[in-house]
Structure 1
Amino acid sequence: MPSQFRHTIPSERFPVEKGRYVLYINYVCPWAHRTTIVHALKGLEDVIDLVEVDARDASHGWFFSGRSGPKKDPVSGARCLKEIYLKADPSFNGRITIPLLWDQRQGTAVNNDSADIIRILFDAFDPLLPPERREVNKGVAAFRPLHIRKEMDSLLLWVFDTINNGVYKVGFATSQASYDEHVSKLFQSLDRLEEHLSQPKHYPYLFGQHITEADVRLYTTLIRFDVAYYPFFKCNLKMIHQGRIRICDCQ
Structure 2
Amino acid sequence: MPCRRARLGSARLGSAGSYDESQRRYSEALQLVGDDDASNLRNTILNNSAFTYFLSHEMSEALAAVDHLLRVSAINDRPLAMHVRDTVGRVYLTAGRVAEAERVLAPAMDAQATEFVPETVATCLVTLAEVHRTQGEFGRAQEVIDRCQELCRTYELSRCAADAAREQAEIFAATGNFRGAYEAYQDFHSRIEAHSASSREARGKLLKAAFQTTEARRETARYHDLAERDPLTLACTTAGTLTSS
TM-score where L is the length of structure 1: 0.29
Whichever of the two has the greater Rg, that structure is 2
Larger strand proportion of the pair = 1
Larger helix proportion of the pair = 2
Choose between structure 1 and 2 for higher RCO, CA contacts under 8 A separated by at least 6 residues: 1
